[in-house]
Amino acid sequence: MIQASPQQLFADRVCLTRRHKIVLNDIGMSVRPGEVIAILGANGAGKSTLLSTLAGELSADNPDSTIAINGHHLDTLNRMQQARQRSVLPQKSGLAFDLDVSQVVAMGSYPYPEMNEEITRQLMEQAMRHAHISELSDRRYLELSGGEQQRVHYARAVLQILCGLYQDKNGRYILMDEPTSSLDPLHQHMLLDSARTLARDHRLGVLVILHDVNLAALFSDRIVLLCDGRVLACDAPGNVLTAENLFQVYGVHAMVMPHPRHTDKTLVVFG
């Protein structure tokens, strides 16, 4: 059993069944301020379901499960209270309104209607710099490419966090579902480097679903490796990314070696 702490997002004994299929099976994990945790697993392993459950969008089936954020059980917090503790970047952010980019980013401040307008503007500019979209601020959102739109939503999620941290320094959390899927390699690295910088500098806990094993190895402090709805391993990347674990999860043989440029990191070659 994972012990609750006033400063973490944590889950214990979480089970969830959908259409008579067990999707999450006795999940226990935690995300602490200041760290980046990557969730890896094959298609259908339960990654997105786990993230949605931690975000309060889905409810666990078993009554003895616990999901808490900064010492508060999630089911005791309303939507506004949850939004002031964490932001969520879904895999696909559907937005059909013809808004300026700055208007979309500003949505991140909605949980903080009491915020000073000038402070909000300054935090919004900071969030756009983190997402590397400052030059897009006057563009129309619907005119952007898919990758540019994803970076706009990342800025929105970051602004939500920055507004909360401006009010108090308690831990905040950002939950991201495959945020790099529509980005080119440069912007994949830029987004994950931004998230890691925010984690270090602002006591932000980052939970991110990735499909790229090597991106997870490069940018995360810990990796949660899911297999058929269970946590197969949760530890530092070098301890999780073994040939045996990767074959069990993906069914593909892999060679694991030290990274040629980052000697403290792991490089995985499949095939």
pLDDT digits (tens, 9 = 90+) for 191-236: 999 999 999 999 899 999 999 999 999 999 999 999 999 999 999 9
pLDDT at 33 over 70: yes
From residue 93, how far is each of 151, 154, 161 by CA, in Å?
11, 10, 18
The alpha carbon of 71 is separated from its chain's Cα centroid by a whole number of angstroms, namely 20
Residue in 197, 245, 247, 242 with CA at minimum distance from that of residue 219? 197
Q: What is the pLDDT of residue 11?
A: 95
Which residues of 43-163 form beta strands (DSSP E)?
66-69, 72-73, 86-89
Pick the CATH number of 9-270 from 3.40.50.1820, 3.40.50.300, 3.20.20.70, 2.40.30.30: 3.40.50.300
Measured CA to CA, the distance from residue 28 to residue 238 in angstroms comes to 20
From residue 8, how far is each of 36, 72, 119, 248 by CA, in Å?
12, 10, 27, 30
Beta bridge partners of 16: 24
Q: Which residues contact 71 (CB under 8 A, 6 or more apart)?
A: 4, 5, 6, 7
Domain boundaries, the chain: 9-270
pLDDT tens, position by position, 108-119: 999 999 999 999
